[in-house]
Amino acid sequence: MVPMARRLLLREKGRLFVTIGAVGATVCLLLFLFGVYEGVKDGVTRYVHTTDADLWVCQKNANNLLKSSSYLPAGVVDEIASIDGVAVAAPLSRLFATATVGGRTTSTLFLFGFDPSRKLGGRER
């Protein structure tokens, strides 16, 4: 099989260069797409990784901070804070918003709101 493929590729040099170029372009495109994916994944999870929170509490089946919504009563924070071993419990609000500057939509924002007096929810310093 290999000798036949070699013979067919070497018979026409133009096709050989087109084939090599196409394979190279495909590899470059795949590397680019993997890079974009890793960048988006890092950007989406950076908030979770840069806070001091050890545990996140949400509704059942809300397993993704970005894609799913979780609404808990405000009293849940006090219930969690009263558990032995819990130093601080703080609520977190998140909102999707679109930023418009000069009448032109620039991007979608992912806004987080937290209680700064509890010292939890903000980025580590």
Asked whether residue 25 is assigned to any structural domain, the reply reads yes
Asked whether residue 13 is assigned to any structural domain, the reply reads yes
What is the model's pTM? 0.52
Asked whether residue 5 is assigned to any structural domain, the reply reads yes
Domain residue limits at 5: 1-50
**pLDDT tens sequence for the chain (125 residues):** 788 888 887 888 888 888 899 999 999 999 999 999 999 888 777 777 777 777 778 778 776 666 667 777 878 888 888 888 888 888 877 777 888 877 776 777 777 777 777 666 655 54
The domain tally of the chain equals 1
Show the 3-state SS of the chain: CHHHHHHHHHHCHHHHHHHHHHHHHHHHHHHHHHHHHHHHHHHHHHHHHHCCCCCCCCCCCCCCCCCCCCCCCCHHHHHHHCCCCCCCCCCEEEEEEEEEECCEEEEEEEEEEECHHHCCCCCCC
Asked whether residue 36 is assigned to any structural domain, the reply reads yes
Asked whether residue 107 is assigned to any structural domain, the reply reads no
